[in-house]
Amino acid sequence: MARTAVLGRLEWQLGSVAELVQETPRVASLLLDMPEWPGHLAGQHVDVRLTADDGYQAERSYSIASAPEDRRLAITVERLDDGEVSPYLVGEVRKGDKVELRGPIGGYFVWRGGDNRPLLLVAGGSGVVPLMAMIRHRSAIKSTTPTRLLYSSRSEEDIIYRAELEALSTAGDGLTVAHGLTRKQPPGWRGYARRIDRPMLEEVAWPKEQNPIFFVCGPTPLVEAVAGHLVDMGFEAPSIKTERFGPTGG
């Protein structure tokens, strides 16, 4: 669907903010009504363009958080204090505002569903966003592809989509979620309490014989470390797809 949709030029479109969801103190989701959305694949992103009244413009890319099946297009944005676009999207934008964007973009870091290779999704911070699109897509198409999400956050309050992940992982359709908190853990925390390391990956990774696919998204040090460990563990490089959320991105 999206493949044919992007053959022509990706035109700028106006979306209307139908709903704002404060996911964490720093992260919000914008649910947009897009009258002419061509559809997308789970894992793709959009470009957002802001225009000031004197014509000054700023553009940034954001991962799509919604499943292709969802009625509204969702992007989830982390507010960067020294950023230019994210403080507008998380803080200034109100319900009913219009946001200009074009997409969907990217044809590699995507999961289409439909095959049964088990998935290991590894996220750091807001890197969970495109992986959430895959998880939502998986649920929407009633896939039972064995799927594990290993999700590293700084503290409990920084976990994005926590309640929804909890609900989806207790649905009994083969999704499990393992959380790690790197900076601060609440009393009685039963998840991991350290950065993602090789022993952790060995605990959650599917056996090689099952030919798993990996999607890794987060800050560069996390992505480099995780992809490196997976190669060391004997997984084939082409099965490991990566995407990065650096300190820049504004």
- What does the alpha-carbon distance between residue 72 and residue 16 come to, in Å, rounded to a whole number? 10
Q: Provide the minimum distance between the beta carbon of 40 and other proteins in the complex, in angstroms, as a whole number.
A: 11
Could you say whether residue 37 binds other proteins (CB under 8 A)? no
* CB of 39 or CB of 250, closer to other proteins: 250
Could you say whether residue 53 binds other proteins (CB under 8 A)? yes
Could you say whether residue 163 binds other proteins (CB under 8 A)? no
Crossing angle of the two packed helices 162-169 and 128-140, in degrees rounded to 10: 40
Binds other proteins (CB under 8 A): choice among 1, 24, 59, 71: 59
Residue 116, classed as helix, strand or coil, is coil
Binds other proteins (CB under 8 A): choice among 7, 142, 163, 209: 7
* CB of 9 or CB of 190, closer to other proteins: 9
Which of 107-115, 124-132, 150-158, 171-179 is the region at the interface with other proteins (rule: CB under 8 A)?
A: 107-115
Q: Provide the minimum distance between the beta carbon of 77 and other proteins in the complex, in angstroms, as a whole number.
A: 14
What is the residue-wise DSSP string for 31-46?
EEE-TT-----BT-EE
Which of 111-119, 151-159, 193-201, 220-228 is the region at the interface with other proteins (rule: CB under 8 A)?
A: 220-228
Residue 55, classed as helix, strand or coil, is coil
* CB of 87 or CB of 174, closer to other proteins: 87
What is the residue-wise DSSP string for 219-241?
SHHHHHHHHHHHHHTT--GGGEE
- What does the alpha-carbon distance between residue 50 and residue 40 come to, in Å, rounded to a whole number? 22
Distances (CA, A) of 90 to 47, 73, 132: 16, 16, 19
Q: Provide the minimum distance between the beta carbon of 222 and other proteins in the complex, in angstroms, as a whole number.
A: 11
Taking a C-beta distance cutoff of 8 angstroms, is the pair 66, 136 a contact?
Answer: yes
Binding site for other proteins (CB under 8 A): 6-10, 14, 47, 49-53, 55-61, 84, 88, 92, 97-100, 105-109, 220, 224, 227-228, 230-231, 237-238, 240-244, 246-250
